[in-house]
A = this chain, B = another copy of it.
Amino acid sequence: MARAKPDQQESHRTMQVVNHVRAMIENGTLKPGDKIPPERDLARTLLISRASLRTGIGYLAALGVMKIRHGVGTFVADGPPDFGQDSLSFIGALHGFQSWQMFETRILLETGLAALAAERSRDEHQAALAEEVAEMFASVDNPTEYLIHDVAFHRIIAQASGNPILAAIMETIVSSMYDSRRKTVERSIDLRESAGMHREIYRAIRTRKPAEARRLMEQHLRMAQEAQGLERPVGKRGPTSGEKNGSADESQSAL
Residues of A within 8 A of B (CB): 2, 5, 8-11, 14, 18, 22, 25-28, 32, 51, 54-55, 58-65, 67-70, 76-77, 81-88, 90-97, 101-102, 104-105, 108-109, 112, 120, 122, 144-145, 148, 162-166, 168-169, 173, 178, 237-238, 244-245, 247-248, 253
CB distance from A205 to the nearest CB of B (A): 13
Checking B10, B22, B166, B173 against A68 with a beta-carbon cut-off of 8 angstroms, the contacting residue is B10
CA–CA, A125 and B152, complex, Å: 40
Given A102-B165, A165-B105, A93 contacting B26 (CB threshold 8 A):
yes
- Total identical chains: 2
Q: Which residues of B contact A245 (CB under 8 A)?
A: 26, 28
Contact residues of A: prevailing secondary structure? helix
The verdict on A8 contacting B69 (CB below 8 Å), with A165-B102, A238-B122 known, is yes
